[in-house]
Every structure is written in C-alpha cells, then in structure tokens.
Amino acid sequence: MVTATINKKIILIFIILIFLCINLSGCEEFEDAELKPDYKNVTVSVTAKVGIGPLEEKLLPDMQIEIQIIKAGAVKKTETVTTNYAGVTPPVTHTVQLYREQDIKVTGNLRSQLPQEYIDQGYSVWTYAYHVYTWDTVHGLIDWGETTSWSPTLYFTVTLEN
C-alpha cells in the first residue's frame, strides 16, 4: 500500500515537471508573437498643384480641390483646400493603420472652375486625379507596428483644347 502511494506521488511529480517544462519552454516566443501588431502605420501627406501645360508654365492660385484619403475602399479623411499664390495646396495629412493586402488611395477633385480668361482662350482641365500606395510597397519598407511616410502630389494640368 505504501509503495502504491509513493508510485502515485512520483507519477504526479513527473507530470508536474513535464507540464512545467512544456509551459516554460518557448514562452518568450509566444509572448513576442502576441505583442507584435499586425499592421503598419502610414502617414499620408498629400498636396495638389494646378498648372498650365505639362511643364506648368504658370501655376494657378485660388483653385479649390477636395482631397480624400481612402484606405481599403473606406474614406478616412476628406478636406477641401485652396491653392496658394504658387498654385500649390497645403498638405492634407492623416495616419492610417495598413493591414495585409490593403492599399491607400488619395484622390483629388477640382471644385473650382477655370478663370474665365482661360476658358475664353480654349483651355480645359482634368478635374480628377489620384495615386495608390499598395501593401507590396509598404511591406518591404518597415516592420510590423512601425511608421513610414507617403507624400504624393496630385497634378491638375490645364491644357489648350484642339
């Protein structure tokens, strides 16, 4: 009877030791894996320019542009900005958490009409512009949870219609 009790205690001690060994081995790996975020931060700072001709011989002031920052198809920020004396808008900035296989799209819609003097001369302008920043681009740049920046410029070129 005494031998059976000792055997049960030895088996119980052996099971506890195995349990402790399994739980303590690799604990750091599991803790690190749980703490790592599954996204990458991207700070987007988008500006727009409105100019005449492909070489932007003249940049147009006082043109209103609606800029949107879109992540994975959902609008994250919308702001209407106006070009300064040099035909450039102030930046529209927003930080997004980009998850695997998502992308970021920035769009611009020109809300102002061309000044009448340019319309009278036969000029026109595309009223929409966009850029896309893909997961593949971000993935190679930074590690999980880190932040990178993306600063696209949307160009609205005023051209002479033929």
26 and 43 both lie in a single domain:
no
Q: What is the pLDDT of residue 29?
A: 52
Question: What's the CATH code of the domain at 46?
Answer: 2.60.40
Each residue's pLDDT tens digit, 6-28: 777 777 777 877 766 666 665 55
As to burial, measured by CB atoms within 10 angstroms (0-12 exposed, 13-18 middle, 19+ buried), residue 148 is: middle
Q: Is the pTM of this model over 0.85?
A: no
CA distance 154 to 57: 17
6 and 71 both lie in a single domain:
no
Contacts of 28 (CB under 8 A, 6+ apart): none
Q: What is the pLDDT of residue 54?
A: 73
26 and 91 both lie in a single domain:
no
Identify the domain containing residue 150 by its residue range.
39-160
Residue 83 predicted with pLDDT over 90: yes
